[in-house]
Each structure stands twice: as structure tokens, then as C-alpha cells.
């Protein structure tokens, strides 16, 4: 009979032996298993040829002269004139703004805001390096 003080001992050696045999079998068979599932992909619509859209370059010099793709603009009326000028441009084009480092931050941000209000979404500021 068992007494309450006896502690059962668990012999896990057979369990380890069985697991090692199963592991060895799995390691031998696994490289030979080829799992393939046929997937039917949806048909995409015929896409247009991706055309390279030329970027819009805006340059502001220290005399506050604004040049957009070799067109000159006045700073005071830039927002309205650029909006009119941008109707001839592709709004998906990227805009690159280059400004003299001596300019006031507000001046550059005013030009940036005018470009954003015109409908351009990809606008970046150029830096030296």
C-alpha cells in the first residue's frame, strides 16, 4: 500500500526516446515534402503606361524674386498668380522649393502654403547636402 509520505517518481526516459525518434523521422522526411497550393489571382485592370511627370522647381533668392520653372513671379501676388499658373501643370508632379538661407522662415512657409493650396500634394524643401 501507498503511504501519504511517498512521492511518485516520473520516469521520462521513454518519453524522450520516443520524441527523439519522431524528431529524426521528421527531419528526414521534411525536405521531401512539397506543399503547393494553386492560387487564382484576380485580374487587374489594364494600367496606363507610367509616364515620368517633370517636377516643378520653385526658387526664391535673397531679393525675394520667385522663379517657377523659369517663369518669374512677384512675392506679394504669388499665391493668386501661382494658382492660375498651376492649372496648366499636373497636380501629381512633385514640387521642389529652393530658398536662400538668409530668407525669413515665414516667407518660405507662405510660398509652401500657396503651393499646397493650389492642389499639389508632394512638396519638398531643397537643402544643401
Question: How confident is the model over 93-105, as pLDDT tens digits?
Answer: 899 999 988 888 8
Helix (H, G, I), strand (E, B) or coil at 34: coil
Q: What is the mean pLDDT of each successive set of 10 residues along the chain, which is 129 residues long?
A: 71 90 92 77 63 87 89 89 90 90 89 92 81
CATH 3.90.1150.10 fits 56-125, yes or no: no
Give the contacts of 79 (CB within 8 A, at least 6 positions apart).
Answer: 110, 113, 114, 117
Tell me what pLDDT residue 28 has: 92
- Amino acid 129: pLDDT: 55
* Domain parsing of the chain, residue ranges: 56-125
Amino acid at each position: 500500500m501507498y503511504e501519504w509520505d511517498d512521492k511518485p517518481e516520473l520516469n521520462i526516459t521513454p518519453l524522450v526516446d520516443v520524441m527523439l525518434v519522431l524528431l529524426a523521422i521528421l527531419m528526414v522526411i521534411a525536405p521531401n515534402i512539397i506543399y503547393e497550393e494553386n492560387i487564382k489571382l484576380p485580374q487587374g485592370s489594364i494600367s496606363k503606361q507610367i509616364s515620368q511627370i517633370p517636377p516643378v522647381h520653385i526658387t526664391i533668392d535673397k531679393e525675394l524674386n520667385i522663379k517657377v520653372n523659369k517663369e518669374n513671379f512677384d512675392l506679394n501676388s504669388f499665391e493668386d498668380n501661382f494658382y492660375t499658373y498651376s492649372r496648366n501643370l499636373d497636380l501629381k508632379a512633385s514640387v521642389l522649393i529652393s530658398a536662400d538661407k538668409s530668407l525669413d522662415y515665414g516667407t518660405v512657409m507662405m510660398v509652401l502654403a500657396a503651393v499646397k493650396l493650389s492642389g499639389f500634394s508632394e512638396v519638398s524643401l531643397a537643402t544643401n547636402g
